[in-house]
Amino acid sequence: MRNSITSQVLLPTLMASVVAGIFTGPVMASSHRESPFLTEQPKVDATDLYLFRSYEAGRQDYVTVMANYIPFQDPFGGPNFYQFDENGLYEIHFDTNGDAREDITFQFHFKNTPKGAALPVGGKLVKIPLINAGPINTVNPPTLNVRETYTIDVVKGDRRTGPRTPVTMGGGAREFDKPVDNIGDKTFGGADGYEKYAGQHIYDVAIPNCGNGRVFVGQRKDPFYIAVGKTFDLINLNPLGAEAGGNENNLERKNVSTIAMEIPISCLTNGNGGDPVIGAYTTASKRQGRLIDPTPGPGLNTASKEGGAWTQVSRLGMPLVNEVVIGMDDKNRFNASRPSGDAQFIDYVTHPTLPALIQTLFPSAPAPTNFPRTDLVTVFLKGIEGVNQPKNVVPSEMLRLNTSIAPTAREAQNPLGVAAGDNAGFPNGRRPADDVVDLSLRVAMGALCVLTGQNDALKVGCKPSDAPAGSAALTDGVRKTAADFKAAFPYFTAPISGNAAAQ
């Protein structure tokens, strides 16, 4: 379903064609291994966040949010595969009134319970070294040697001091099973066996004082697409080449771990003065202290004990902000920060280094000359007025969505989102197929300054002459469409099978 809002909330079509790209500021990809600390803690490394009105048939009154963690997963991950951190706290935060502070937070705690599967060997019962002892086709079967579960709490107000209540499934149960990763076709009974198994882990849930929703946590094929190798090899590609098929998507053979929720729109917009715009970001935290046990006993995670207050170590709203915007010395600090403190990082937005780097590599593409970059500040920290800017916005970095804009049907979606007239796409939230890489490259070079016109119709404080390369159609040569993803929750496709990884 399309909803043309041009006459209501968008600027003229010419001006709208830029907002999909500019909102992210100078970023190029998803957030993988973006800070020194997280290279040592991949289990709490957030890779991507997606936020959009559900476009599954009959679910248009819901918002889908999906947070991906644990980057660069090889499908052949045995014998332990990829598990969320039992000693970590994973959170998805919503700012419902634009004040840069969380109003609703969903907290996820994980637990891995060993079953001690054993086989009789020479008269002794000996524990097996594998995560499964046979085929798997149901939730928590006896052949699964480690049961992975999680709980969800919803917190109103401050994430640490606000009232906390559990999210439950039918009958009031609050412990959810997470499917084991896609070990291989033999384990799950054929090529389509894993999705039949994983589908049993999509739960209908009751969200206190919010209504009913859905949740899924489990491994998925990495949905992000980018020419990672060539991009980070000093943009070793033709930035004006073909927008699709020009380069290899280096994440095509990788998996990630997804936390997905479908939440009623009313849950996120009630009580905020009628403002339909919401903001979201995800964080992961660890305990302050860790003690390594030199003589661990049986079971999982018994080699260390962790305690103390929660310390945030990962933060993600828009893609790859930390990776290519924040300076090396401040990356860990950014991951430990909250949106309300983003003023400390303002120089990275007003004086971005990416355009200067592009100019160095491609002298025929001069960087914008308007400093401070008020065009980036407007959309990167506030959202676009009339599109996805909260009524009383406090400048801060997060993914923002105007929930009053109807979702676009899967077959009608355009990867360039608002820039192509698809108002339900990026930067109005972010859907699986939205091409944030191409759009972000273009806006970093000043696309907004060009399209705002000589009279600055967008009121961003620059003009066309400030951005000599602002009209360049930059690309990394990789693109997907909504047809590459599922039509229903949780939208991302099945993870690559361990035994099929080399095909």
pLDDT score, position 327? 87
User: What does the pLDDT read at residue 501?
Assistant: 52
Under-50 pLDDT residues of the chain: 1-29, 503
Give the integer Cα–Cα distance in Å for 240 and 238: 5
pLDDT at 77 (0 to 100): 81
Residue 14 contacts residue 447 (beta carbons within 8 Å): no
Looking at residue 6, its pLDDT comes to: 32
CA distance 285 to 110: 13
Q: What local confidence, expressed as pLDDT, does residue 231 receive?
A: 86
- Per residue in 68-111, pLDDT (tens digit) is 999 999 998 888 899 999 999 999 999 999 999 999 999 999 99
Task: For 110-155, write each residue's pLDDT tens digit.
Answer: 999 999 999 999 999 999 999 999 999 999 999 999 999 999 999 9
Phi, psi angle pair for 110, to nearest 5°: -115, 155
Amino acid symbol at 38: L
The Cα–Cα gap between 289 and 45 comes to 19
Q: How far apart are CA 209 and CA 54, in angstroms?
A: 21
Contact 184, 498 (CB under 8 A): yes
Q: Which pair of structure tokens corresponds to residue 278?
A: 């919401």
The closest alpha carbon to 159, from 97, 107, 87, 84, belongs to: 107
**Residue 422 — φ and ψ, nearest 5°?**
-95, 90
DSSP code per residue over 341-374: GGGGGHHHHHS-SHHHHHHHH-TTSPPP--SS-H
Whose tokens are 């206190």? That residue is 208
| CA–CA dist 48, 70 (Å, integer) | 10
Domain-wise residue ranges, the chain: 13-487
- Do residues 303 and 280 touch, judged by C-beta distance below 8 A? no
pLDDT (0 to 100) of residue 50: 98
Distance of alpha carbon 5 from alpha carbon 19, whole angstroms:
14
